Homo-oligomer: A and B are copies of this chain.
Amino acid sequence: MTTIPVTTAAKSYAVNIETGLLVRVGTELAKVWSPRQVAIVTDTNVGPLYAQQVRERLTAAGFRVTVLTVPAGESSKSWAQVMRLIDALSAAQLTRSDGVLALGGGVVGDLAGFVAAIYLRGIAFAQVPTSLLAQVDSSVGGKTAIDLPTGKNLVGSFYQPDVVLIDPQTLTTLPPRMLVEGYGEILKCAALVGSDFWALVQTVAQPADILAQAAPLIRHSIAFKARVVMADEKEGGQRQLLNFGHTIGHAVELWGRGRYMHGEAVAIGLVQVARLFAAQGLMPAELTNQLRERLMAVGLPVEFPVDLTTTDLLAAMHHDKKIHDQALTWVYLTAIGQPAMHAVPLANLATWIAPVTAK
């Protein structure tokens, strides 16, 4: 088992990664939680595959278990599901000594984490992420959230889990498109880190390679993210680096209203921000091709959708949560492994992005 320690101001916890770890989920959880009532939050995709098994392992380890299932998909990151889950925790009489376990992808983790953060002003929380995106991205950093009609993740909190248990074997049941989208975030990390990690992604030449290399890809990504989060828990400085590819990515995702998965939109964002910064003379032009090649190798999209207008793109960008002092801070690379930041006043944004949006 690989253990990556994460230490924040709020608490310290471990991310444990091992193929087959799900079999030991009960005993692993018992290492950090005393016997208690545990509400497993899962969705209609993951629940039928794993909830019964996890329930049995937890029960065998001395926990009293309730399983709460939400509809699969981003639309569950809603007030309606928050209220439903909170009512269910209250009906099951969970107390401050009990806990919530997220079993599923990023949606389940974000939703269950937010519910754990606000129920009784916060009860214990643990994560068993089952999608590649959740394993590499949303399970480290303590971000929880739901969406509003005006944008993604506009409501939430920073709330750290007590433990994250990752079993790469769960990826074998993941739909191919979801496996590939998770790789979009991995490639972002690899480009920011460079060195061994960038060398590793050179070996991913087709979607099947993602599965074959899952364990090292996940380890590298989490180790990087943990370093960044430890340095900067609440996104004042270094954590902004994780937004590489996200300024355009988030806007495309918001505009698409479900057409693109998060990792797909990020893939477009990575290549287009590279094109943009190359056009502005801030990023070497060959990086655009390198990023494009690695992403296209697994079939990720890299071009703006043809029906996305500049007006719509700008409108979506204005909902970016990272707008600060009427400016948007972009992350770019001066070389693989060498990130940098550049703030653009909102007033200049249309002109700034013109090199990639002008047809």
Contacts and interface: CB of A to CB of B under 8 A. Distances in A.
Interface of A: 9-10, 79, 83, 86-87, 90-91, 93, 95-97, 114, 117-122, 143-145, 148, 150-151, 153-158, 318, 321-325
Given A79-B83, A87-B148, A324 B97 contact: yes
B119 A155 contact: yes
Contacts of A83: 79
Contacts of A10: 9
A158 B122 contact: yes
Contacts of A87: 148
A93 B122 CA distance: 28
A27 B118 CA distance: 33
Nearest to A146: B118
A121 B86 contact: no
**DSSP class of A's interface residues: helix, strand, loop or mixed?**
mixed
Nearest to A9: B9
A91 B319 CA distance: 10
A96 B67 CA distance: 35
A148 B90 contact: yes
Contacts of A156: 118, 121
A90 to B, nearest CB: 5
10 contacts: A86-B154, A90-B148, A90-B151, A91-B150, A93-B318, A95-B323, A96-B322, A117-B157, A121-B144, A121-B153
Given A118-B118, A121-B145, A321 B157 contact: no
B120 A154 contact: yes
A292 B96 CA distance: 33
A158 B323 contact: no
A118 B110 CA distance: 13
A159 to B, nearest CB: 9
A90 B158 contact: no
Contacts of A96: 321-324
Given A118-B118, A122-B158, 9 more contacts: A9-B9, A79-B79, A86-B154, A86-B155, A90-B148, A96-B323, A97-B325, A118-B157, A119-B155
